[in-house]
Structure 1
Amino acid sequence: MLETILAISGKPGLYRLVSRGNRSLIVETLDEVKKRMPAFAADKVISLADIAMYTDDGEVPLQEVLVALKKKEDGQLSTFDYKKASHEDLAEYFSAVLPNYDRDRVYPSDIKKLISWYNLLVKAGITDFDKVLTPTEGENIADREVKE
């Protein structure tokens, strides 16, 4: 499911992949407004499924971190006030989610972004972080016609 949820550098929030155009992606905001807009090749677009967090043992996919955060928060919105929290409070909170995270390479801003993304996903009703799309899900009709 995280394959179709995108982060676009320089733009706040998260976006759902709606369709693919010739030279752009059509994305929709995850907030209540559901505004659609194009994302072009010049925009740095990354799927949440391609993001990982550094640990002392290597990297952990973001979906595993989100599952751990969901477990800590019982599937509800995070009650932690990450916007006003000190660096020490963020580190303490995140160590309860991912105990062996790399404290040198995971910055407080990364933790804040993770919590804000988690809250956006929960508000949008996306809580099944383990679900992986099959190769045909999320394709355009035009893509399928070309393959046939």
Structure 2
Amino acid sequence: MQLEKIISISGKPGLFKLVSQLRSGFIIEDVTTKKKVSIGNSSQVSLLDNIAMFTFDKEVPLFEVFHNIAKENGYTSTISHKSSEEELRAFMEKALPSYDRDRVYVSDIKKLAQWYNILYKAGYITSESFVALEEEHKQQEQEQQQENEETTPVAKEKAASKAKTTKAKTEKPAAPKAKASSGAKSTVKSTQRKQG
């Protein structure tokens, strides 16, 4: 799902796709009706690709939250944004269990449900929409598993012994010291006697 061109405009209901830029603003297209209009540069625009939701330890991109909702709902629509506060909180618990309850307001959850349903209606929410994200997650999990294996005591021991072996192979053996042969010594002595 391509979110980088999907925008929300303050004061306008729905979601829009950026079509092109003009000198004085932008041409946008309503994602559900496909109707094109122009807006001025003074419009307050939010790119969905730049929006994230607060958790207790990090900010999760909106794209990932949409993916969680899609999996939870079998890639179909979700609850209405007009649902009760209790229902919206329960919906949020499933979409992002670690969300920060102090910083994510009911109004944010309403917007999330509304945007998800708009994108679903416009054909943006399908199992294929999130393939790249799933592949990225698998790769991250593999990397994490590899890191975990490398930090275990056995892995550290193996790494240390491997380092020693490598060091032993790369170090050049010291050159043998040359020894004077006994024949050479006797020759020197015999020549000294002759001179004396």
Higher-RCO chain (CA-CA 8 Å, sequence separation at least 6): 1
- Following the alignment from structure 1 to structure 2, what is the Cα–Cα distance between the partners of residues 130 and 60? 18
Shifted more, 99-108 versus 37-46: the winner is 37-46
- Following the alignment from structure 2 to structure 1, what is the Cα–Cα distance between the partners of residues 31 and 4? 14
Query: CA separation of 1:25/1:131 partners in 2, compared to 1, >3 Å: closer, same or farther?
Result: farther
Corresponding residue number in structure 2 for 1:53: 53
Q: Which consecutive unaligned segments of at least 5 residues does structure 2 have?
A: 134-196
Aligned residue for 1:74, secondary structure, equals coil
Q: What TM-score, normalized by structure 1, do the two folds share?
A: 0.81
After TM superposition, which residue ranges in structure 1, 4 or more long, deviate above 2 angstroms? 129-132
Q: Which has the larger radius of gyration?
A: 2
- Following the alignment from structure 1 to structure 2, what is the Cα–Cα distance between the partners of residues 81 and 73? 13
Please say if 1:84 is aligned against 2:83: yes
Q: Which consecutive unaligned segments of at least 5 residues does structure 1 have?
A: 133-148
Corresponding residue number in structure 1 for 2:41: 41
Task: Verify the 8 A CA contact 1:51 1:62 in the aligned structure 2.
Answer: yes
- Aligned-pair CA distance for 1:89: 2.2
Q: What TM-score, normalized by structure 2, do the two folds share?
A: 0.62
Q: Percent identity?
A: 44
- Aligned-pair CA distance for 1:84: 3.0
Task: Verify the 8 A CA contact 1:66 1:129 in the aligned structure 2.
Answer: no
- Following the alignment from structure 2 to structure 1, what is the Cα–Cα distance between the partners of residues 119 and 81? 16
Aligned residue for 1:88, secondary structure, equals helix
Number of residue pairs the alignment of both structures matches: 129
Give me the CA root mean square deviation: 1.6
Higher helix share: 2
